[in-house]
Amino acid sequence: MLGLGAAFKNPIRRSLLRHLATRSTTTVTVPLERGSEPSRRHKPGGYHPLRPGDVLNNRYKVVHQLGWGLYSTVWLVQDIKEKQMSALKVQISELTTYEGPQHELSKLQILRDTNPNSPGYRHICHLRDNFTIEGPHGAHVCLVLDPMRVSVFDIFRAFRIILPLDLLKRISKHVLTALKYVHDECGIIHTDIKGDNIMLVSMPPKSDKTTIEIGIDELMTLPFVLSDFGSAVKVEERSSGLIKPTDLRAPEVIVKAAWDTKADIWNFGCLIYEFAKGTRLFDSSWRIEDIEMTPPQIHLAQMVGVLGEFPRSLLERGERAKNYFDDEGHLLVGSGVHDNRLDKLVACSGHPLREIPTLVDFLRKALSIEPEERWSSAQLLQHPWLMDVDA
Query: Which one of 64-68, 156-160, 328-332 scores highest in mean pLDDT?
Result: 328-332
Answer yes or no: is 89 a known binding residue.
Answer: yes
Buried b / exposed e across 129-143, counting CB within 10 Å, b at 16+? bbeebeeebbebbbb
What is the model's pLDDT at position 12? Answer: 34
Query: Is the model's pLDDT at 240 over the cut of 50?
Result: yes
* Cα 50 versus chain centre, distance: 28
Hey, what CATH class is 162-386 in?
mainly alpha
Q: In 152-291, where do the E strands start and end? A: 188-189, 198-201, 211-215, 224-226, 233-234
What average pLDDT does the segment 263-272 reach?
A: 97
Q: How far is CA 192 from CA 47, 188, 235, 268, 389, in A?
A: 22, 12, 15, 9, 25
Question: Are 222 and 204 spatial neighbours (Cβ–Cβ below 8 Å)?
Answer: no
For the ranges 58-62, 152-156, 187-191, 386-390, which has the lowest average pLDDT?
386-390
**Calpha distance 51→120 (Å, rounded):** 35
Burial group, residue 61, by CB count within 10 angstroms (0-12, 13-18, 19+): middle
**Calpha distance 168→165 (Å, rounded):** 5
Question: Are 109 and 127 spatial neighbours (Cβ–Cβ below 8 Å)?
Answer: yes
H or E, element range at 150: strand 148-151
Q: Give the domain 39-146 fold.
A: Phosphorylase Kinase; domain 1 (3.30.200)
Identify the residue with better confidence: 300 or 237.
Answer: 300
Closest CA to 260 of 313, 190, 174: 190
What is the model's pLDDT at position 100? Answer: 43
What is the model's pLDDT at position 371? Answer: 97
Question: What confidence tens digit (pLDDT) does each residue in 317-349 have?
Answer: 999 999 999 999 999 998 887 888 999 999 998
Query: What pTM value is reported for the model?
Result: 0.90
Dihedral angle of Cα 351, 355, 358, 360, to the nearest 10 degrees: 20
What is the model's pLDDT at position 391? Answer: 63
What is the model's pLDDT at position 101? Answer: 36
Question: What confidence tens digit (pLDDT) does each residue in 241-266 have?
Answer: 667 678 899 999 999 999 999 999 99
**Calpha distance 207→195 (Å, rounded):** 22
Question: What confidence tens digit (pLDDT) does each residue in 69-103 have?
Answer: 888 999 999 999 999 999 999 999 988 866 543 48
The domain locations on the chain are 39-146, 162-386
What is the model's pLDDT at position 96? Answer: 80
Mean pLDDT of the chain, nearest integer: 89
